[in-house]
Amino acid sequence: MMELSLIDMVFYLFSAVTVASGMLVISARNPVHSVLWLILAFFSAAGLFVLMGAEFLAMLLVVVYVGAVAVLFLFVVMMLDINFTELRQGMLQHLPLGGLVGFILLGELVALAVAWNFGADVAKNAASPAPIDTATTNTEALGQLLYTDYIFIFQTAGLILLVAMIGAIVLTLRDRPGVRRQNISVQVQRKPGEAYDLVDVDTGKGVSLPGKKG
Amino acid sequence: MNGETLTILPALPELILAVGAMALLMLGVFRGDKSYRQVANLSILLLVFCAVVMINQVGGEREVIFGDMFVTDAFAVFAKTLVYIGSAVAILIAGKFLSEHNIAKFEYPILILFATLGMLIMISANNLMSLYVGLELQSLSLYVLAAMNRDRLRSTEAGLKYFVLGALSSGMLLYGISLIYGFSGSTDFDVLATSLRGEGGAPIGVVIGLVFLLAGLAFKVSAVPFHMWTPDVYEGSPTPVTAFFAAAPKVAAMALLVRAMINGFPALIAEWQQVIVFISIASMLVGSFVALVQTNIKRLMAYSSIGHIGYALVGLAAGTQDGIEALLVYLAIYLTMTLGAFAAILSMRRNDGMVEDIDDLAGLSTTNLPMAVAIAIFMFSLAGIPLLAGFFGKWFIFLAAVEAGLVPLAIIGFLASVVACYYYLRIVKVMFFDESAGAFEGGHGQAVSAVVGVAAVLNSPVSFLLIWPLVGAAAWAAGSLLF
Query: What DSSP line would sit under B82-97, residue for residue?
Result: HHHHHHHHHHHTTHHH
Q: Is the pLDDT at B471 greater than 50, yes or no?
A: yes
Q: What is the pLDDT of residues B383-400, one digit of tens each?
A: 988 888 889 999 999 999
Quote the CA–CA distance of A8 and A10 in Å, as a whole number.
Answer: 5
B1 to chain A: nearest residue by CA? Answer: A149
**Across A73-82, A130-139, B362-371, B404-413, which has the greatest mean pLDDT?**
B404-413
Indicate the DSSP class of residue A181.
Answer: -
- Model's pTM, two decimal places? 0.87
Quote the CA–CA distance of B13 and A155 in Å, as a whole number.
Answer: 15
- The answer to the question of residue B91 being in a domain is yes
Q: B69 — contact with chain A (CB < 8 Å)?
A: yes
Q: A196 — contact with chain B (CB < 8 Å)?
A: no
State mean pLDDT over B178-196: 86
**In Å, how far is A151's CA from the nearest CA of chain B?**
7
Q: Is the pLDDT at A74 greater than 90, yes or no?
A: no
Chain A residues within an 8 Å CB radius of B148: 170
* Residue among B129, B136, B205 whose CB faces A115 most closely: B205
pLDDT band at A130 (very low <50, low <70, confident <90, very high): low
B147 to chain A: nearest residue by CA? Answer: A171
Domain covering A7-88 in this structure, CATH number:
1.20.120.1200
Q: What is the mean pLDDT of chain A?
A: 82
Lowest mean pLDDT among A82-86, B318-322, B478-482: A82-86
Quote the CA–CA distance of B294 and B226 in Å, as a whole number.
Answer: 19
pLDDT band at A48 (very low <50, low <70, confident <90, very high): very high
Q: What is the pLDDT of residues A148-207, one digit of tens each?
A: 889 999 999 999 999 999 999 999 888 777 788 888 888 888 888 777 777 778 888 777
Quote the CA–CA distance of B287 and B306 in Å, as a whole number.
Answer: 5
Q: Which helix (H) or strand (E) holds B353?
A: strand B353-354
- The answer to the question of residue B241 being in a domain is yes
- The answer to the question of residue B179 being in a domain is yes
Q: Helix, strand or coil for residue B64?
A: strand
**In Å, how far is B207's CA from the nearest CA of chain A?**
12
Give the pLDDT score at A127. 62
- Per the rule left: phi > 0, alpha: psi between -120 and 50, beta: everything else, B201 is left
ipTM: 0.91
Q: Is the pLDDT at B64 greater than 50, yes or no?
A: yes
* Residue among B25, B67, B121 whose CB faces A156 most closely: B121
Q: Which helix (H) or strand (E) holds B109?
A: helix B107-123
Backbone φ and ψ of B153, nearest 5° = -60, -45
Quote the CA–CA distance of A105 and A112 in Å, as a whole number.
Answer: 10
Terminal-to-terminal C-alpha distance of chain A: 86
Q: Is the pLDDT at A10 greater than 50, yes or no?
A: yes
Q: Is the pLDDT at B476 greater than 60, yes or no?
A: yes
Q: What is the pLDDT of residues B73-96, one digit of tens each?
A: 999 999 999 999 999 999 999 988
Domain boundaries, chain A: 7-88, 135-173
Q: A151 — contact with chain B (CB < 8 Å)?
A: yes
Give the pLDDT score at B200. 64
Give the pLDDT score at A135. 73
Residue B70: name the closest of A151, A161, A145 by CA.
Answer: A151
Q: Helix, strand or coil for residue B405?
A: coil
Q: Is the pLDDT at B70 greater than 60, yes or no?
A: yes
Q: Which helix (H) or strand (E) holds A96?
A: helix A91-114
Q: Please report, rounded to a whole number, the percentage of residues in chain B having pLDDT higher than 90.
A: 60
Terminal-to-terminal C-alpha distance of chain B: 27
pLDDT band at B99 (very low <50, low <70, confident <90, very high): confident
A122/B199 touch (CB, cutoff 8 Å), yes or no:
no
- The answer to the question of residue B1 being in a domain is no
Quote the CA–CA distance of B179 and B190 in Å, as a whole number.
Answer: 17
Query: A-B interface: how many C-beta pairs under 8 angstroms?
Result: 109
Q: Is the pLDDT at A69 greater than 70, yes or no?
A: yes
Give the pLDDT score at A133. 65
Quote the CA–CA distance of B288 and B419 in Å, as a whole number.
Answer: 6
Q: How many CB atoms lie within 10 A of CB A199?
A: 10
Chain B residues within an 8 Å CB radius of A169: 107
Quote the CA–CA distance of B135 and A163 in Å, as a whole number.
Answer: 13
CB B113 within 8 A of CB B20: yes
Quote the CA–CA distance of B388 and B424 in Å, as a whole number.
Answer: 14
Which domain covers residue B305, as residue numbers?
Answer: 9-479
Q: Which helix (H) or strand (E) holds A114?
A: helix A91-114
Q: A115 — contact with chain B (CB < 8 Å)?
A: yes
The residue among A147, A160, A169, A173 with the most chain B CBs within 10 A of its CB, best to mutate, is A160
Give the pLDDT score at B2. 44
Lowest mean pLDDT among B6-10, B64-68, B175-179: B6-10
Measured in whole angstroms, how far is the alpha carbon of residue B271 from the centre of its chain? Answer: 25
A166/B107 touch (CB, cutoff 8 Å), yes or no:
yes
Q: What is the mean pLDDT of chain B?
A: 89
Q: Which residues pair with B353 in a beta bridge?
A: B350
**Structural domain total, chain B:** 1
In chain B, % helix, strand, coil (3-state, to 5) comes to 75, 5, 20
In chain A, % helix, strand, coil (3-state, to 5) comes to 65, 0, 35
Chain B residues within an 8 Å CB radius of A116: 183, 203, 205
Residue B224: name the closest of B290, B281, B274 by CA.
Answer: B281
- The answer to the question of residue B211 being in a domain is yes
Residue B244: name the closest of B441, B82, B36 by CA.
Answer: B82
pLDDT band at A213 (very low <50, low <70, confident <90, very high): very low
- Which residues 161-190 of chain B have a CB within 8 Å of chain A? 183-186
**In Å, how far is A82's CA from the nearest CA of chain B?**
26
